[in-house]
Chains A and B, each alone.
Chain A
Amino acid sequence: MIEVIIGHYNYWVVILLMMAGFYTVINRGNLIKKIAGLNIFQTSVFLLYISIGYINEGTMPIIAEGFDKYANPLPHVMILTAIVVGVSTIALGLALIVRIKDAYGTIEEDEIHDQDMSL
């Protein structure tokens, strides 16, 4: 039991963070806060991937003499790409928020729905 906890606590905390971000996205009406939640969700996914690439008593994947245990470089490469793609998504989302503010005069989801008579 203790072995399971020691071996998995990292994943569990990451999942907790992921759910905190997810909760902010689906429960909060403010669009900027939603974007912050989305970003937290994203960062926790990155943490999950890097956790899987980690190796006990290993070093960073930079080849040097005297070391033979390296962390897995492939998740690192994927996450580097994901971080950059993530910031592009967020920039686009924030630009949309600016436009929504111009068109509706608010960035609260409830008020936007009221004005649209949707929901």
Chain B
Amino acid sequence: MIDTLIDITLLVFLTITAIAIIKIHNLFVIIMLFGIFSLHSAGLFVVMDAPDVAFTEAAVGAGISTVLMLATLALTKDHHEKKPKHRARLPLLVILITGAALVYGTYDIPSFGDPDSPAHQHVKPRYIERSVEETGVPNVVTAVLASYRGYDTLGELTVIFTAGLGVMLLIGGRLRSRKKNET
């Protein structure tokens, strides 16, 4: 019962934050609200029994993303969003249709937290039953991430490396040319 109450409260907070982000035009406020949004979703992950995801979301989503966005704001020096010239009718239509299609799709998803849903029947019991004896790690998420799917996680590092390389190529030249201008 208390779980459901916390769940609903956090969902309401998330909705308010998302709508505030659409309405507000000051970019600094938007970025701060975005950090709040990430932190609330991290809380929701804890309620939904996913502490590992909550750690990562709080550290990476609320922490690093917000810092990166603030750094961009400092570099671009544009603090105010200009109001869009065109009307909002077409985008509104698009999201209404997409949203309606998605809501229609949820009728085929088993109820929230249903223990008999297919997601809990098939591959999951194998990992729950065997992971401790096979890897020696009690946390199944860690066991799957670092042991069963170790190569996948290694591939993830390649993604981070490529992104870091891209950012350095894009911004590194900028700093160099600025130094040249100063001398």
How many angstroms between the C-alpha atoms of A72 and B166 in the bound complex? 35
Q: Is A98 a contact partner of B75 (Cβ separation < 8 A)?
A: yes
Q: Which residues of B contact A33 (CB under 8 A)?
A: 21, 27, 30, 81
Number of A residues contacting the other chain (C-beta, 8 Å)? 83
Cβ-based interface call for B2 (8 A): no
Query: Does the CB pair A43–B127 fall under 8 Å?
Result: no
Q: Which residue of B lies closest to A100 (CB)?
A: B76
* Interface of chain B, main secondary structure: helix
Chain A, interface SS category: helix
Q: Is A76 a contact of B27 with CB atoms below 8 Å?
A: no
Contact string against B for A residues 10-22, beta-carbon threshold 8 Å, 1 for contact and 0 otherwise: 1111011111111
Contact of B160 among A36, A54, A88, A94 (CB under 8 A): A88
Contacts of B85 in A (CB 8 A): 29, 110
Determine which of A35, A73, A110 lies in contact with B141 in the assembled complex, contact meaning CB atoms within 8 Å. Answer: A73
Minimum-distance CB pairs A-B, first 8: A7-B111, A88-B163, A56-B113, A71-B49, A20-B18, A30-B81, A27-B91, A73-B140
